[in-house]
Chains A and B, each alone.
Chain A
Amino acid sequence: MTDGPTNFIETPFVRRKRRAESLAKWVFLAMSFAMVVPLLLILGFLVARAWPALSLDFLLDPPVRGMRAGGIWPALLGTIYLVVISLAVAAPIGILAAVYLNEYARDNWFNRLINLAVINLAGVPSIVHALFGLGAFVLAAGIGKSILAASLTLAVMTLPVIIASTREALASVPRSFREACWNVGATRWQTIRAVVLPNSISGILTGVILQVSRAAGETAPIMFTGALFFKAVDRGDLFAYGLLEQCMALSMHLYVIATQVPGVPEAVPYATAVVLLGAVLLVNATAIAVRVYMRSRKKW
């Protein structure tokens, strides 16, 4: 490096500076990996412990012998019910709310208040959402503890996820497209439907998928609004629950067998955790894949 006739000879000062530079780089690298590596180890450990219990039967069988053996079918099914219904409620409201905030709202105090509300809705602790669901849907609305009440609670809780990513997607559509539409006499809604929504579909889809992952993993909000310790369901029965009945859920089931039921063989809670984790990560990976795919075929 210092070879040859040059004025740029490394002085001790510069050398120190360069060492500090590479030291800093390695420290930050280590800090980044300090989060990632143990996590991978832990996940590997979970899968290794769960391995003996994991099978297709584990997914499709109902739990037996006081949840100490058998599978997780009723919990899996309950989670699917909860997710689908909460999605059906949260997606339209969330997307339209984002459309309002990005396309209609002007920058005034009222809309700043809406923004603040969205941020706070995302920040309210999940257990407070549970109290809200209990107070509003179960008791005040008289729905009772049920899939419907739990799904509505989940929907309110996951609304900000959809609003945030839809908004980001809408904001990334260039303003000039909107102006071009307005110039030919299109109304706001015609503009939104013909140009804005079709071009932000990937972001909206990402938001919806993230909502699914969030709703599937939550425990606290459904604990007192509709989740149940145990319900007998036949193997593979797809229509085991009614809308106004309580149901089991995967996250709740994991909590119950990990803390409340004594004498569960070790592999069972591990396997339940791996199924829940696997499902959530798979859904998130889909969201990432959608994003990458859509980015590669952008139209402008």
Chain B
Amino acid sequence: MVSPKPTIQVQDLRLAYGTKEVIHGISFDIRRHEIFGIIGPAQSGKTSLLRCLNRTIDFTPGVRLEGAIRVDGEDVRQIRDVFGLRRKIGMVAPLPVGLPLSIYDNVAFAPRCAGVKARSELDGLVEHCLRQAALWDEVKDRLHTLGTKLSGGQQQRLTIARALSHQPEILCLDEFSIAIDPVTTMRIEGVLKELQSSMTIILVTNLVQQARRLARRTMFLWNGRIVQLDASDVIFSEDPGNRQTYEYVHGIFG
């Protein structure tokens, strides 16, 4: 079988906040249109990794970055149009952040920033994204109420809709389920399975079973190092070939 060309290549990435190094030189590839799971305990550098990817790490003072991250072959640190890069990558944060704008404006925010003005285009896009995020039916009658007034699960789907609104090629989800109930989580997981056909998805999760359900390949990150990276079937099997992985996945430590 021909392995697809990698969308994201990370090479020997090191990241330090001041003098404290949090990622100690990791390398891996993410392929086109796969769901790539990243698991690991808190403080192991998962969120920092995502922030390097879309360069929002730039906003943190005192950061040192070494190595290379290539998205579609381009090193993100050399990219001049950093906003274009961020539009290519959808990002969903752990806690849902509904911007204090209406539901409609929340979703239309990114396209507007990118220069889409026509009302009809925006209308279509908003509806499309809200449908993709399985939120349309619940909010279609109150698109102009505040996004912050939605329930936690709805807000999280709103942030997913927002992340989809600039039609990214890569979607990153950072522990999206920690603030929402299991039923909503299952709905969103269904959404992700559908989206997989049109985009690459990076799923950072602290729920081991979630990665098992969704990801084709899973990376176990611990203290800024890759412990194991393999197909999910292997990682979550009874014999992943690595003692630490086995213990973490089966809840013996972590």
Contact = CB atoms under 8 A, between A and B. Distances in A.
> A and B touching (C-beta < 8 Å)?
yes
Interface of A: 106-107, 176-187, 190, 194-195, 198-199, 299-300
A198 to B, nearest CB: 8
B146 interface: yes
B173 to A, nearest CB: 12
A184 B113 contact: yes
B159 interface: yes
Interface size classification for chain B: 20 to 34
Given A106-B61, A176-B97, A184 B162 contact: yes
- 5 tightest A-B contacts by CB? A184-B110, A185-B87, A299-B100, A185-B86, A183-B91
Contact of B93 (A106, A183, A185, A199): A183
A186 B113 contact: yes
B95 A185 contact: no
B179 to A, nearest CB: 12
B83, B97, B101 — most chain A CB neighbours (10 Å):
B97
Contacts of A106: 61
A177 B91 contact: no
Contacts of A186: 83, 109-110, 113
Given A179-B56, A179-B97, A195-B99, A185 B83 contact: yes
Contact of B148 (A184, A185, A300): A300
Contacts of A107: 61
Given A177-B99, A300-B100, A183 B61 contact: no
Nearest to B85: A185
Contacts of B87: 184-185
A185 B110 contact: yes
A179 B93 contact: yes
Contacts of B59: 178-179, 182
A195 B105 CA distance: 11
B109 A184 contact: yes
Nearest to A177: B99
Contacts of B61: 106-107
A299 B61 CA distance: 29
B54 interface: yes
Q: Looking at B87, B109, B114, B159, which has the most chain A CB atoms within 10 Å of its CB? A: B109
Contact of B97 (A177, A185, A190, A198): A177
B148 A183 contact: no
Contact of A299 (B54, B91, B95, B148): B148
B163 interface: yes
Given A107-B61, A183-B54, A184-B113, 16 more contacts: A179-B93, A180-B99, A182-B56, A183-B91, A183-B163, A184-B90, A184-B162, A184-B163, A185-B83, A185-B84, A185-B114, A186-B83, A186-B113, A194-B101, A299-B148, A300-B100
A106 B165 CA distance: 31
Nearest to A175: B59
Q: Which of A176, A180, A185, A198: most chain B CB closer than 10 A?
A: A185
Interface string B29-57: 00000000000000000000000001010
27 contacts: A106-B61, A107-B61, A176-B95, A177-B100, A179-B56, A180-B97, A181-B109, A182-B56, A183-B56, A184-B87, A184-B90, A184-B110, A184-B113, A184-B162, A184-B165, A185-B83, A185-B110, A186-B113, A187-B83, A194-B109, A194-B113, A195-B100, A195-B101, A199-B100, A299-B100, A299-B146, A300-B148
Contacts of A299: 100, 146, 148
